[in-house]
Amino acid sequence: MIIVLNGTSSAGKTTLGKALQDMLPTPYLLIGIDTVVFALPRRYVNELWTQELCRYEYDGDRIAKIVPLPRYHAMVRGLHASVASLARAGLDVIMDHCLVEPAWADDLLAAFAGLDVLRVGVVCPLAVVEERERSRGDRTLGWASAHYDVIHRYLPYDLTVDTSRADPSGCAEAVAAELTRRFGR
Q: Tell me how far apart the alpha carbons of residues 84 and 29 are, in angstroms, rounded to a whole number.
A: 12
Measured between alpha carbons, how far is 182 from 96 in angstroms, rounded to an integer? 20
- Residue 142: its H or E element: none
Which residues are the active-site residues? 34
Vertex 164, ends 160 and 165: CA angle to 5°?
Answer: 75
Residues 6+ apart with CB under 8 A from 70: none
